[in-house]
């Protein structure tokens, strides 16, 4: 073989070895992942059985160079329906398979309804089923949050509530830089029983409206009757509204200590906090 051919073969073998070792290590880590319960006596339990991971081992560890695969990029803040649209396009799903993604594959457990389809770039075998893809993303989610299990327990935070909160932060934040500030505001409100009043929950309720997902919120939308409307309900909505990044989840665990109860973003995506409603109105007048 020529020198160029030798170099190419060496490169491919190195990449295959790297991916095989990395994914095998990730699979082993999955078997020790834990979920956290916040009942003032936090307990560590397996999120999914060993049988679950053995059943899905091939999907997680099969090197993509050995077969045809699809590249799926899940962006932070996407809702599962948006992910389903990506999958339908790449895998050629018909309408029935997309419906099953939204209503069956992502509904196998109550906590899998939304928020656990972790944002990342996935290399998925072209013959993978919709359920295998959902299971792959869920397993990857647990892989990412399991290193923080002790912190969840130490701070007595329920991981499912943390993901709900993180999904709100993800949709509200201008970027990772202000996520801890927004988390601090949300914790402040929750601690005194103040409604969260998150505009993004109204966007979630509206769904795929005339301008697409995450459309503009009008004043009338803040009165939409829904268990997700944080202008009308106390506390958190029943499920996440999107799939948050690790940065958003960590913001819930490590919020900025602040005395703010309000915030806005100006036209430059700069956040402005306020302690009182009067200060909030002033910020609106000055920065919007």
pLDDT tens digits in sequence order for the chain, 288 residues long: 554 444 343 443 443 334 333 333 333 333 333 233 333 233 232 233 333 333 444 444 444 555 688 999 999 999 999 999 999 999 999 999 999 999 999 999 999 999 999 999 999 999 999 999 999 999 999 999 999 999 999 999 999 999 999 999 999 999 999 999 999 999 999 999 999 999 999 999 999 987 889 999 999 999 999 999 999 999 999 999 999 999 999 999 999 999 999 999 999 999 999 999 999 999 999 998
Helices 159-172 and 179-192, packing angle to 10 deg: 120
Taken as a whole, the chain contains a residue count of 288
- Sequence-ordered list of residues with C-beta below 8 angstroms from that of 55, at least 6 positions apart, any chain: none
DSSP-derived secondary structure for 159-186: HHHHHHHHHHHHHH-SSGGGHHHHHHHH
């Amino acid at each position: 073989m020529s020198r160029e051919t030798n170099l190419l073969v060496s490169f491919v073998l190195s990449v295959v070895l790297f991916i095989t070792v990395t994914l095998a290590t990730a699979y082993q880590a999955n078997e020790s992942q834990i979920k956290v319960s916040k009942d003032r006596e936090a307990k560590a339990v397996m999120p999914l059985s060993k049988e679950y991971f053995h059943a899905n081992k091939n999907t997680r560890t099969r090197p993509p160079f050995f077969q045809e695969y699809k590249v799926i990029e899940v962006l932070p803040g996407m809702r599962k329906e948006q992910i389903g649209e990506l999958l339908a396009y790449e895998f050629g799903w018909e309408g029935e398979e997309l419906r099953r993604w939204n209503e069956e594959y992502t509904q196998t457990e109550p906590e899998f309804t939304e928020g656990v389809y972790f944002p990342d770039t996935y290399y998925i075998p072209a013959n993978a089923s919709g359920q295998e893809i959902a299971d792959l993303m869920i397993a990857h989610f647990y892989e990412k949050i399991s290193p923080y299990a002790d912190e969840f327990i130490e701070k007595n935070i329920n991981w499912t509530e943390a993901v709900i909160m993180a999904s709100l932060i993800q949709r509200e934040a201008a970027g990772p830089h202000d996520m801890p500030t927004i988390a601090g505001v949300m914790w402040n409100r929750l601690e005194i029983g103040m409604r969260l009043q998150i505009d993004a929950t109204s966007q979630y309720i509206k769904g795929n409206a005339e301008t697409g997902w995450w459309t503009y919120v009008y004043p009338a939308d803040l009165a939409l009757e829904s268990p997700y409307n944080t202008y009308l309900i106390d506390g958190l909505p029943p499920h996440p509204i999107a799939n948050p990044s690790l940065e958003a989840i960590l913001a819930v665990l490590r919020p900025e200590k602040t005395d703010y109860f309000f915030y806005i973003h100006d036209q430059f995506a700069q956040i402005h906090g306020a302690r009182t409603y009067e200060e909030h109105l002033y910020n609106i007048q000055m920065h919007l």
